[in-house]
Amino acid sequence: MSVIQATTSRRDFLRRSLWGAAGLAGALPQDERVRLTPQTTQTGGHQHDGSTTDETDPVRKALQQKVTTLKGFDPMLYLSNFDYGQESKLSDGRTLREFKLVARDVNLEVAPGIIFPAWTFNGTVPGPTIRCKEGELVRIHFINQSISEHTIHLHGIHAANMDGAEELVKPGQTYVYEFTAEPFGLQFYHCHVPPVTLHMNRGLFGVMIIDPKKPRPAARELVMVAHGWDTNFDSRNEIYAVNGPANFYRDNPIPLRAGELVRVYFVNALEFDPINSLHIHANFFHVYRTGSKLTPDDYTDMITLAQAERCIVEFTYNLPGRYMFHAHQNSFAELGWMGHFEVTG
Ligand SMILES: [Cu+2]
């Protein structure tokens, strides 16, 4: 299957990448898939973000494909798939919430036909969204079935030996993390084994939401984790994404209802590039930095986050239509960090 004419101009390439792949060929057949290894090399000139100007490059070609189903990912399910764990009561009346996270090595299709050797929590990237309430006791049973040492480093307040920074968990071993859920807000978890850039680029990160005791207003809740894929292991990102594969929500818009309150839990899990951002079109949102307060910090249409920063944003679309959202680093948007909301009346 031919994926692009050799005569396609760079302008056409960028326009198609940015504005959608409708009308282009679908996912590559199995025999044309590219299996990535740390030895995979690219040809052509590199730009600062690790992308190449060589339009015969398989990753760049893949970013022009229309995205349908991809091996190992279900980004539409991921958006609102909250893991509340197993709930029980302690003798002091508090709630105990237990979770199981398994480090597992899987091959994931990060763009059509591009297979990446990922390290995952529970087989997906990002890992499951753990959800609990302020003051609950959280216990995470971590089982390492990967080829490498890993840990779970949680953002939040806890004891030193629950921090996942020093206690490396070897392949075949288990570790139990236990802490009181605090403070409320949008937390982040990831492996902290050096080189941390490699372990995060391989896919070992996820979201933990600690709900406040007084619940937030009812809303349509979505989790979005913006991150990258360094597909040739040169410490630069070739692909940018939200919730796993490149361009998924560009070609599969997120359905919203006009007039409903939408709450996005937005996390920047990008490595190698120091900042990332979220911009929504034709609207403004309220920003709650780290989600640690119930009053907004800002009202804007664009939020910039450094590595591991996160925020909750809330907005409502009142008019039906298709609206873009993307990183306002347009080079990231052109390399996969692009999506749409489809608002219906
Ligand atoms: Cu790791």
Question: How close is the Cα of 217 to the center of ligand 1, in Å?
Answer: 36
For residue 103, how far is its CA from the centre of ligand 1 (angstroms)? 8
- Cis preceding linkage at 183, omega within 30: yes
Instruction: Say what the pLDDT of residue 241 is.
Output: 97
| Residues whose CB is less than 8 angstroms from the CB of residue 182 and which lie 6 or more positions away in sequence, other chains included | 134, 135, 156, 157, 210
- Give the tens place of pLDDT for each residue, 209-239: 999 999 999 999 999 999 999 999 999 999 9
Higher pLDDT, 317 or 29: 317
Q: For residue 299, with 0-12 CB atoms within 10 Å meaning exposed, 13-18 middle and 19 or more buried, which class applies?
A: exposed
What's the whole-number mean pLDDT along residues 60-73?
A: 93
CA of 208 to the centre of ligand 1 (A): 18
pLDDT mean over 13-37:
44
Asked whether residue 4 carries a pLDDT value surpassing 50, the answer given is: no
Q: How far is the CA of 169 from the centre of ligand 1 (A)?
A: 9
Q: State in Å: Cα 153 to ligand 1 middle.
A: 10
How far, in Å, CA of 18 to CA of 331, rounded?
A: 10
Between CA 257 and CA 296, with CA 341 as vertex, the angle to 5 degrees is 80
pLDDT at 159: 87
Cα of 58 from ligand 1 centre, angstroms: 27
Q: What is the pLDDT of residues 108-156, one digit of tens each?
A: 999 999 999 999 999 999 999 999 999 999 999 999 999 999 999 999 9
Q: Which domains does the chain have, with CATH numbers?
A: 82-211 (2.60.40.420)
Confidence label for 49 from pLDDT (cuts 50, 70 and 90): low
Token pair 């494909």 is at which residue? 65
Distance 24 CA to ligand 1 centre (A): 37
| Distance from residue 128's CA to the centre of ligand 1 (Å) | 16
Contact partners, residue 234, CB within 8 Å, separation at least 6: 50
- Please give the mean pLDDT across all residues of the chain: 88
d(CA 143, ligand 1 centre) in Å: 12
pTM: 0.86
